[in-house]
Structure 1
Amino acid sequence: MASNNFIDYVKINCRSGRGGAGSHHFFRAKGLPNGGPDGGDGGRGGHIILEGNSQLWTLLHLQYRKHIIAGHGEGGGENLRSGAQGEDIVVPVPLGTIARDAETGEKKVEITEHGQRVILTPGGRGGLGNDHFKSATNQAPTYAQPGEPGIDEWIILELKLLADVGLVGFPNAGKSTLLSVVSAARPKIADYAFTTLVPNLGVVAYRDYQSFVMADIPGIIEGAAEGRGLGTRFLKHIERNSILLFMISCDSDDIAAEYGILLSELEQFNPELLEKRRLLAISKADLIDDELEAEIRETLPKDLPTVFISSLANKNLQQLKDMIWQELHAKE
């Protein structure tokens, strides 16, 4: 998919519906010219509602939809008839979407489940009809409430991808190749830096018809947290991954040093990322022998689960999936 088709940030104007006015009607009938109040209530204004949709993974469908306007409620009628509610507008969004007030930055809504519905911008309440205001001392009230106005506000929708495991590594570490081999995803693959310009998601089949979701995040470079390279544009997507799979090529000059740089970039962007469970996959392991593999292992942290893999040679990929599955289901 072309990079301009991945949209993870949009700003939209939301206008909920105005509530309908209550009626101040009085009952009239032949032989009863001075009946009591029978004004009905006004209808509620339309809400703007966000709905989670697991089939979406981008905000592209909202990129050019700058204004979302819900319907107004209708006024109340005679014989205690309530006005119709304004039309609600349901906006489908991918899982992991956060809505913020564009002026204050305050988080309003977060969508994390398929089918989840949350009112983003509520419609105005309908006004009460004059029937509500009759009393022993006021048997013919002429007053009815106006409807409440709707809300007109600018909202920022920001997507942070939800995945079970996120791939973290420098460009050309083999992340896209791994995702293409273990899932049906088809990310762009080439032998130059920054082949992956957008995050890619893939569903990885596991034993007994089980599965988990893997996200290929565009490659990090040293200084990414400060805006170098692709900068922080895609680092935010790592925040929503349950575990992090670090990938470093075995042809690196210093694998341990590269791992340290990756950790440092994540820590600078968000220190809480270091609290996530981590695995390490040394890619292109078909290019080294057992002796060199053992030497590399001696340089790595002892408490870091590590596996040497080759996506092209299908080396240790099942072992990698087993490790990921165990980490995903490990008790805290």
Structure 2
Amino acid sequence: MFVDKAKIFVKGGDGGDGLVAFRRELYVPEGGPAGGDGGDGGDVIFRVDEGLRTLMDFRYQKHFKATRGEKGRNKTQHGANADDMIVRVPPGTIVVDDDTGELIADLTRHDQQVVIARGGRGGRGNTRFKSPANTAPAIAENGEEGQERWVTLELKVMADVGLVGFPSVGKSTLLSVVSGAQPKIGAYHFTTLTPNLGVVDLGDERSFVMADLPGLIEGAHTGIGLGHEFLRHVERTRIIVHVVDMSGMEGRDPFDDWEKINDELKQYNVKLADRPQIVAANKMDMPESEDNLTAFREKVSEVKPDILIMPISSLTRQGVQELLYKVADLLDSLPEFVEVEDTAAKEAEEGIVYRFEPGNDTSFSITRDNEAFVVHSEAIEKLMRRTQFGSHEAIVRFGRILRGVGVDAELRKRGAKDGSTIRIGKFEFEFFEGGSDDYIFEDA
């Protein structure tokens, strides 16, 4: 079974928590802080494996979670960083954020890789908070949460040559004749429901990969019929071999079919209009094919005079070898890869790592929810998740930071009084306006 689309969940590993510890050695009074930092969580990395051809594995495993970093240790020892999780994908895979529709990565080359979900940074141990004013801090941070997201994987077949055309024009038969592929062949529409790949060996030390792609119908660019399930695979091919039924069976007009298919390709992706194309005028063994071919050539020359038209018959193999040599010669003159957007640069996109340091965004807004004051700020919420509220010193530090960015002053402007409920994310606190320089909130 060919699987070319999958939706999966990925999560980077959480960072390990920092440790509060002190040196306790004989003859070393007041040894000072000795709590180490937590280790970083593992990243979820997608890596291209040219040995894979489908997204079949993702039908059975849809959740990928990297491991958490180790907690900090005594004697200022750093917790171990977690190993990254490597997820293997076939070449031609594109990764899209399921929530935003943003293209994250376009993976085409063997061993190419990209970080899809970054692991969280480890929390700092109390050694990091030592200062002349506080030589024995009892403060440590929780590890940051790993980035998590739902992503959609789509596989675009990586082939040198793509066979396109209306259903039942003979694409599958042609592929079976020129390669070792054994696609399902039948005298009815949509026999081919998934792409079939075959290697064509010309015997002169030249070979190429040919893909028999599911048949198009009018309106495919809008998703009608197999629609986008077909069209996304055409984008990867270096050459398009447009198979046209010259017999005119079922009352069809070869030129009309050729125009409609090209129009669908152009409307889906305008760049496909410039993709090198050879017309394989198939079924030339049928009685009326010669007359139809003559009329076809005349009409095509008025629209695209430079296009190459090769008369063939997949059944009798007439003209097939000549077609293959023309395809190979054209491939020799083209770049090895179809140019695609360099979205691998998304690997460097900002992860979830956050610290309140100069340059970080500390903007916030405040709204009312009945009697509660709600503070909206992604950065402050991240700070809260990192704060170990079991420590009084940690609460004091948290309050000072909020005071420094102006949260408490804005709350007073909006009418917050002693005992008012303050909500930040999933946390609720009581506002404390006692004039103390130590903190502004008490845990509710």
The TM-score, its normalising length taken from structure 2, stands at 0.68
Partner of 2:161: 165
Partner of 2:300: 300
Partner deviation per Cα, 1:37-77 (whole Å, 9 max, x = no partner): 33322111122111212222222211232322221111111
Assess, with a 3 A threshold, how the Cα gap between structure 1 residues 207 and 138 changes in structure 2: closer, same or farther: farther
Assess, with a 3 A threshold, how the Cα gap between structure 1 residues 144 and 109 changes in structure 2: closer, same or farther: same
Assess, with a 3 A threshold, how the Cα gap between structure 1 residues 139 and 208 changes in structure 2: closer, same or farther: farther
Structure 2 unpaired stretches of 5+: 336-444
Matches for 1:100-249 after TM superposition, within 5 Å = 100-135=96-131, 138-249=134-245
Partner deviation per Cα, 1:219-250 (whole Å, 9 max, x = no partner): 11223234433233212211221221100122
Matches for 1:272-311 after TM superposition, within 5 Å = 272-287=271-286, 292=291, 296-301=296-301, 302-311=305-314
The alpha carbon displacement at 1:197 in A equals 0.8
Partner of 2:14: 18
- Say how many residue pairs are matched: 328
Distance 2:122 2:28 in 1: 29
Is 1:315 equivalent to 2:318 in the alignment?
yes
Assess, with a 3 A threshold, how the Cα gap between structure 1 residues 228 and 110 changes in structure 2: closer, same or farther: closer
Distance 1:290 1:266 in 2: 25
The secondary structure found in structure 2 opposite 1:240 is coil
Distance 1:80 1:312 in 2: 77
Partner of 1:99: 95
- Identity across matched positions, percent: 45
Is 1:268 equivalent to 2:271 in the alignment?
no
Q: In the alignment, which of 57, 64, 68 is matched to residue 53 of structure 2?
A: 57
The alpha carbon displacement at 1:251 in A equals 0.6
Is 1:330 equivalent to 2:329 in the alignment?
no
Q: Tell me if structure 1 keeps the 8 A contact 2:122–2:142.
A: yes
Assess, with a 3 A threshold, how the Cα gap between structure 1 residues 290 and 215 changes in structure 2: closer, same or farther: closer
Structure 1 unpaired stretches of 5+: none
The TM-score, its normalising length taken from structure 1, stands at 0.89
The secondary structure found in structure 2 opposite 1:146 is coil
Partner deviation per Cα, 1:62-103 (whole Å, 9 max, x = no partner): 123232222111111123322122343222212111111111
Distance 1:32 1:178 in 2: 85
The alpha carbon displacement at 1:112 in A equals 0.8
Distance 2:288 2:148 in 1: 65
Partner deviation per Cα, 1:175-227 (whole Å, 9 max, x = no partner): 11111222222111112111101111222224543322211111112232344
Partner deviation per Cα, 1:80-129 (whole Å, 9 max, x = no partner): 32212234322221211111111110011221112222111111011233
